[in-house]
Amino acid sequence: MTARRPLIAGNWKMNGLRADGLDLARTLMAWLTGEGAAVQARADMLVCPPATLVAAVADAVAGSPLAVGGQDCHTTESGAHTGDVSAWMLKDAGASHVIVGHSERRTDHHEDDDLVRAKATAALAAGLTPIICIGETEAERDAGQATAVVARQFHGSLPEGATGTSVVIAYEPVWAIGTGRTPTAQDVAEMHQRIRAEARERLGDGADALLILYGGSVKPGNAAELMGIADVDGALVGGASLKAADFQAIASACP
């Protein structure tokens, strides 16, 4: 059984002007190298600012344990794609990770598994770790389709040639994002166990090393329970990652 080092990732979404973003990143960096050193010894922390701040935040925290990621990337390296950002550009800006397939992208920009897989493939080619988001809607859960949907998204979004250490999966039930609602601990445990079983079909024993994050209304008050569930290897945090104290408390809850 491979030991997995948890990852606590903050997705700032479309939030943060330069001064606030830099202040938040510097506060987290100082905490990780000071009061939070014991947390840093057992878990990794990552922030994913909006594209406008990736380079500035990466420069500000360079050399520290705080990692920086993007929130999306294009499928190609460069070209006539107005408004898009390539994985290579994120890498050049100092990112180590990129979120792909977040449900807000799947909904707002009609991204499907094929496109998400192409984005994850581009991320790997650029030397980034893609954090591939999957998760069912409330209607799909109510219809008893949650595990089938998540399994289909997992296989459809996972790039060829992925290994257990080259990608990260984030299970985010859509209905739990930004709502204050979370699945029961048993539901989370069953879904993460199922994802790892699906991963074993594709990655063999490499599935033991795969990080499977939980995302959706993770807060300081529920982090210890969620992070304590078997096969939960960290969190993808939205709203609570915008407050340093809350994000630090969530990271501190890592076993």
Ligand X SMILES: O=C[C@H](O)COP(=O)(O)O
Report the b/e string of 10-22 with b at 16+ CB within 10 A: bbbbebbeeeebb
In the complex, least distance from residue 155 CB atom to ligand X, rounded to whole angstroms: 21
172 classed as catalytic: yes
- Is 238 annotated among the ligand-binding residues? yes
Residue 10 in contact with residue 237, Cβ under 8 Å? yes
72 or 88: whose CB is closer to ligand X? Answer: 72
In the complex, least distance from residue 133 CB atom to ligand X, rounded to whole angstroms: 7
The widest CA-to-CA distance across the chain, in whole angstroms, is 48
Strand partners, 236: 9, 215
- Is 31 annotated among the ligand-binding residues? no
Catalytic residue among 74, 97, 102, 192: 102
158 or 240: whose CB is closer to ligand X? Answer: 240
Report the run of H or E that residue 41 belongs to, with start and end.
none
102 classed as catalytic: yes
In the complex, least distance from residue 182 CB atom to ligand X, rounded to whole angstroms: 9
In the complex, least distance from residue 179 CB atom to ligand X, rounded to whole angstroms: 7
- Is 88 annotated among the ligand-binding residues? no
Q: What is the DSSP letter of 160?
A: T
Continuous H helices in the chain:
18-32, 37-40, 54-61, 87-93, 103-108, 113-126, 138-142, 146-157, 185-203, 220-227, 244-252
Catalytic residue among 136, 140, 172, 198: 172
Other beta carbons within 10 Å of 49: 27
Residues within the interface to ligand X (CB under 6 A): 11, 102, 172, 177-178, 215-218, 236-240
13 or 88: whose CB is closer to ligand X? Answer: 13
46 or 162: whose CB is closer to ligand X? Answer: 46
Binding site feature residues for substrate = 11-13, 178, 217, 238-239
Q: What are the catalytic residues?
A: 102, 172
